[in-house]
């Protein structure tokens, strides 16, 4: 009992140290850069329209909060809808590619080739065909995000333990049972890796769609700020875009931890066994 309590206490301390080791260096670096930026602008008497100080950017963002909110809400809506569409389409295509060698040979090269076409060239066509409403921006986000999801889904399904699949087949398990009980759970870590990559692009995709044609959104706010030489508002837009991307990335990571607790527990147990083995041998 006492040994188990000591092991848990040691494990908690190690986790705390690892968390600090991950969080503290980037935090210190960011704060240092902000201080240098602030002092450099003040000492050099740089004009605000050219490069505002961080304090000026924070003040401008607070003053424009009521003006910013509708644009943030519009961009967030486009991002979430587009990412949801990319997730559904990407997961479905990944399943189809894995299910049929014919579909894989026919579709996979086209998917790869589609990534050579710049999204900025497709976005104006979507506006011409679909107008200036919400749908073109949602489709732009989906186009930006779906490819990593397709690839990670297909690769995750292909990486399933073949011996386990053969064992279940010899025991009479159906193809559907093997898919839902073995292959899909085994593919989830790979799928979430692709989702994390895709979600970081989603907000940028929404901004890109707004630049081509929109009446609201952070992209429009950024363009209007640029035309008005409100550089501080441009930086505010960039900051909010980064924060939205980080929030989405963190949400996906938390969901992954919740759904794949068994995977991380197994990996953690393996690490502890390795550490214990090294301790005994030394």
CA distance 135 to 226: 26
Of 14-18, 35-39, 55-59, 192-196, minimum mean pLDDT range = 14-18
Q: Could you tell me which of 115, 169, 124, 175 has the C-alpha nearest to residue 143? A: 115
Rounded mean pLDDT, 55-62: 94
Q: What is the dihedral sign for C-alpha 31, 55, 61, 225? A: negative
Q: What is the dihedral sign for C-alpha 19, 22, 25, 29? A: negative
> 86: which 2 tokens?
């990319």
Q: What is the dihedral sign for C-alpha 58, 63, 65, 71? A: negative
CA distance 217 to 78: 9
| Predicted pLDDT of residue 250 | 93
pLDDT, greater one: 175 or 71 = 71
| CB-based burial label for 75 (10 Å; 0-12, 13-18, 19+) | buried
Q: Could you tell me which of 239, 249, 191, 248 has the C-alpha nearest to residue 218? A: 239
Of 26-30, 154-158, 175-179, minimum mean pLDDT range = 175-179
Task: Tell me the average pLDDT of the chain.
Answer: 86
- 238, 203 Cβ separation under 8 angstroms: no
| Predicted pLDDT of residue 2 | 46
**Three-point CA angle 185, 188, 194, nearest 5°:** 165
Predicted confidence (pLDDT) per residue in 240-278, tens digit: 999 999 999 999 999 988 888 766 666 555 554 554 455
Tell me the C-alpha to C-alpha distance, in Å, between residue 42 and each of 46, 59, 238: 7, 16, 22
| Predicted pLDDT of residue 118 | 86
CA distance 252 to 234: 27
What are the DSSP calls for 115-141, one per residue? TTS-HHHHHHHHHHHH-SSHHHHHHHH
Per-residue pLDDT band at 90 (split at 50, 70, 90):
very high
> 212: which 2 tokens?
């081509």
Indicate the domain borders of the chain: 1-45, 53-281
Class of domain 53-281: mainly alpha
| Predicted pLDDT of residue 121 | 86
Predicted confidence (pLDDT) per residue in 35-45, tens digit: 999 999 999 89
Rounded mean pLDDT, 154-170: 81
């Amino acid at each position: 009992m006492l040994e188990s309590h000591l092991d848990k206490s040691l494990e908690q301390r190690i986790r705390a140290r690892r968390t600090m080791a991950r969080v503290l260096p980037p935090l210190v670096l960011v704060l240092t850069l902000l201080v240098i930026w602030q002092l450099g602008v003040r000492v050099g008497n740089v004009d605000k329209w050219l490069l505002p100080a961080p304090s000026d950017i924070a003040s401008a963002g607070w003053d424009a909060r009521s003006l910013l909110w509708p644009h943030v809400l519009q961009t967030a809506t486009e991002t979430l809808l587009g990412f949801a569409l990319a997730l559904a389409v990407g997961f479905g295509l990944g399943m189809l590619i894995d299910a049929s060698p014919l579909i894989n040979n026919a579709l996979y090269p086209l998917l790869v080739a589609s990534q050579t076409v710049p999204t900025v060239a497709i976005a104006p066509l979507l506006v011409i065909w679909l107008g200036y409403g919400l749908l073109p921006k949602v489709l732009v986000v989906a186009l930006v995000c779906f490819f990593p999801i397709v690839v990670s889904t297909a690769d995750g399904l292909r990486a399933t333990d073949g011996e386990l699949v053969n064992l279940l087949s010899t025991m009479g398990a159906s193809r559907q049972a093997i898919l839902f009980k073995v292959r899909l759970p085994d593919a989830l870590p790979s799928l979430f890796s692709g989702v994390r990559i895709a979600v970081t692009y989603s907000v940028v995709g929404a901004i890109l769609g707004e630049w081509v044609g929109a009446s609201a959104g952070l992209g429009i706010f950024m363009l209007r700020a640029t035309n008005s030489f409100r550089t501080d508002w441009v930086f505010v837009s960039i900051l909010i875009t980064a924060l939205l991307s980080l929030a989405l990335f963190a949400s996906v990571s938390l969901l992954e931890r919740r759904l794949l607790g068994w995977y991380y527990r197994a990996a953690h147990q393996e690490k502890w066994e390795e550490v214990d083995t090294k301790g005994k041998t030394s």
